[in-house]
Structure 1
Amino acid sequence: MDSITQAVLGAALQGTVLGRIQGRRSLVYGALLGTVPDLDVVIRYADPVSQMTYHRGFSHSIFVLTGLALLLAWLVNGLGRKYWPDKGYALPRLFLAFWLVLVTHPILDSFTVYGTQLFWPLQFTPQSWASVFIIDPVYTVPLLAAVLYAAFKGISGRALRLLSLALVFSTAYLGFGLAGRMAAEQRFQTALDQQGIVVSHVRAVPIAFNSLVWRVLAKTPDGDYYEGVSSAFDHDPPEMQRLALNLPLADAIAEAPLLQRLRWFTDDWLRYDEVDGALVVTDLRMGIPGNYTFRFNMAHRDAQGQWVAHTPTAWRGAGVGSMFNSHDLALIWRRILDQQPPLPLAAWTSKYLGQTAVPGR
């Protein structure tokens, strides 16, 4: 999630657990501690694939953060006994506060689609539960309001109740998002079944600042995929299109270590395109249909016309900013409540990818 959300979550948690001891300072300490796992962004890597796939790595490991929480609790407890003996610091309470603030950061990140290495150094596929968008006001605003109230009014009984209620609501909202994701996948699977389309994998991801309208992907056994959009308020089957993954292009650089790492990190939700002599690899999980956030130029043809992997570069037009086209977002938000007219999936694919899609039946 975004840094503001992580900061207010940390502030709410530490304020709830240590507010009666630390007062308003608990909100500041919690906000700062809640952003610590994202300090890995200061590490610079040689290429954008490494930058993407090593982010949310060791600094988001529940093992590393549990150790850090224990160390911080031991240090603060020692200082408290020496300098603030009347504060009532206790090692178990300190550990609980610091552990909650630190560990909820990567757990919350895991509820987005990006991918979080929650169990580093174990090489599990990064956790990507995709129940909320990376920025979601419905999750953040109640926490922010409760923290601001506590900051202005002090850590009183009412402030503690508001902080607790905001934490309960935000947690319930994550569950709501998971239920919405499963419902979207089921609607899409049902629509495919009704058309006699066989798929091997289906996954839904939320689109742009909400958990009501979902982009759904489904792989076919023959190397294509379906992409569509489904809302919680739909009464008719979702609109969809069929596109090629172009897997033979992947075979040409299959042994490239960074491609292997990217396949692992994304759980192999990748498509491949030859564009102007470049082999462009696209992470299908993030963005809107046709306009994806992470695209990489990973190979070129040599003098004999063979593909040669090179140090990846970001493909032009890709990046987080590509998601924030105001016209496209307006159509997506209208789509939450109204299926007609359907979203222009084929037009977006042609505009952003320069590809022709086969409309869903």
Structure 2
Amino acid sequence: MDSVTQAALGACIGGAVASRTLGRAAFIGGAALGTLPDLDVMLDYGTAIANFTQHRGFSHSLFILVPLAVALALALHRWKPQLSRGRWLAFTLLILVTHPLLDSLTTYGTQLFWPLGPPVGTTSIFIIDPLYTLPLLLAVLYGAFKPPAPRAQGVALALSSAYLLWALGAQTLVDQRVEEHLAGQGLAGAPRMVQPMPFTTLLWRVTVLGADERLEMVTGPFEGDRPLTVERFPRDPALIEQLVSFREGQRLFWFTDGFLDVSIRDSSLLATDIRLGVPGAHPFTFVIARQDADGEWSATASTQEPRPTMRNDALRAFWSRLSGEAEVLCMATFEALPAGETCS
């Protein structure tokens, strides 16, 4: 999740656990501790793909954060023994552990068990969701002006947690909605990703990987009787095979679980993470290799391409689809269409 949300979550937990003893310091310390795991973005691992795939790595691992929480609790208890050792442990452990657990619900995922296993990501909530963050912020502001207020923080944590449960439920409903359609096309077992569109859990994007094409759908948990609009994008297995012949290509394929678009442009092999953003405006595209005059590929230190810009009317199109004014949202062009029309 975004840094504001993680700071608000940490501050809210800090207030609920320790504001009766520490006052406003519980919120300040909680916010600081809640953002600590994300400081790994300051590290340079040498290449664009290394930096991309190492983020949310060791600093988000439960194998690192749990011992760190224990050590911090013992040190803080020596500094402020007014708060019991158990309360200090609850303070540090809950704040540090909830950070990666919340991140693991997003599309980007988190290496919860680094250095073992792949990233964990349920794709259940967008990285910025005001409905999740707002209760936490309000409770923190209330506690900052009227400390202590642990009940307010407790209520906010309960509301935000309930929202996460709703997101998981909505994701399940959408997944069930598309399953029958995919089964009819022989794609029931194909890799698929169901994730919320930006800032909401009422509209979801479904991405399905076929052998030589990718399917994209936009639907919601309460649209059971509305026909699905399916857009198809080409997928070149030969280029994917070429990608994974390079070490950094293997790393990116592992990190994205294969949800990549691979293409050639100006004698460069490009790989795009299609989980984030929308077609035509995916923010993470990397140069993996370059082709010489004889057609031979050679690996290069990966670099990131500039992020593409969205259409000027993208927000309007998104709102039209979300509000029900339009019934179709075309991912290829990000334009909204009325019922009965199809994406070109």
Structures share fold, TM-score greater than 0.5: yes
- Tell me the CA shift for residue 326 of structure 1: 5.1
- Which amino acid in structure 2 is aligned with residue 15 of structure 1? G
Aligned partner of 1:210 among 196, 200, 207? 200
Secondary structure in 1 matching 2:183: helix
Residue in structure 1 matched with residue 84 of structure 2 by the alignment: 90
Q: Tell me how far apart the structure 1 counterparts of residues 62 and 230 of structure 2 sit (CA, whole Å).
A: 38
Task: Tell me what 1:44 maps to.
Answer: 44
The more displaced of 264-273 and 52-61 is 264-273
Structure 2 equivalent of residue 134 of structure 1? 127
Q: Deviations over 1:203-248 (max 9, x none)?
A: 111111111111111122x232211111233231221111222120
SS at match of 2:328: coil
AA partner of residue 14 (structure 2):
Q
What residue in structure 2 maps to residue 225 of structure 1?
A: 214
In the alignment, the residues of structure 1 paired with residue 228 and residue 80 of structure 2 have an alpha-carbon distance, to the nearest angstrom, of 59
Q: Does 1:295 align with 2:285?
A: yes
- Alignment check: 8 A CA contact 2:243 2:250 kept: no
Aligned-partner SS, 2:333: helix
What secondary structure sits across from 2:50 in the alignment?
helix
Q: Distance in 1 between matches of 2:20 and 2:334?
A: 53
Question: Cα offset for 1:190?
Answer: 2.1
Pick which of 136-145 and 264-273 moved more: 264-273
Report what 1:30 is aligned to.
Answer: 30
SS of the residue 2:301 aligns to: strand
- Residue 276 of structure 1 deviates from its aligned partner by 2.7
TM-superposed CA distance for 1:289, in Å, is 3.1
Alignment of structure 1 residues 266-281 onto 2, 5 Å: 266-281=256-271
Q: Unaligned 5+ residue runs, structure 1?
A: 82-86, 350-358
Structure 1 window deviating more from structure 2 (113-122 vs 329-338): it is 329-338
With 162-171 and 197-206 compared, the bigger mean Cα shift is at 197-206
Q: Aligned pair count?
A: 337
**CA RMSD across the alignment:** 2.0
- For 1:78 and 1:135, the matched residues in 2 are separated by 37
User: Which residue of the other structure, out of 145, 149, 152, is the alignment partner of 2:142?
Assistant: 149
CA distance in structure 2 between the partners assigned to 1:279 and 1:99 by the alignment: 43
**Could you say if the C-alpha distance between residues 21 and 143 of structure 1 is closer, same or farther in structure 2, counting changes exceeding 3 Å?**
same
Identity of aligned residues (%): 40
Deviations 1:12-43 (A, max 9, x none): 10110111110111001101111100110110
Q: Which residue is equivalent to 2:71?
A: 71
Residue number in structure 2 paired with 1:12: 12
Give the drift of 1:112: 0.8
Is the Cα contact below 8 Å between 2:278 and 2:331 reproduced in 1?
no
- Aligned mates of 1:246, 1:117 — CA distance in 2: 29
Aligned to 1:102: 96
- Answer whether contact 1:117 1:125 (CA < 8 A) is retained: yes
Residue aligning to 1:84: none
TM-score, with structure 1 as normaliser: 0.88
Unaligned stretches of 5+ in structure 2?
A: 336-341
Distance 1:172 1:120 in 2: 28
Q: Is the 8 A contact 2:267 2:292 kept in 1?
A: no
Q: Does 1:167 align with 2:157?
A: yes
> In structure 2, what is the equivalent of residue 338 of structure 1?
324
Residue 327 in structure 1 maps to residue 313 in structure 2: yes
- The alpha-carbon deviation at position 46 of structure 1 amounts to 2.0
- Which residue type is aligned with residue 246 of structure 2? A
TM-score (structure 2 length as normaliser): 0.92
Q: 1-side partners of 2:312 and 2:6: how far apart? A: 26
| Amino acid across the alignment from 1:227 | E
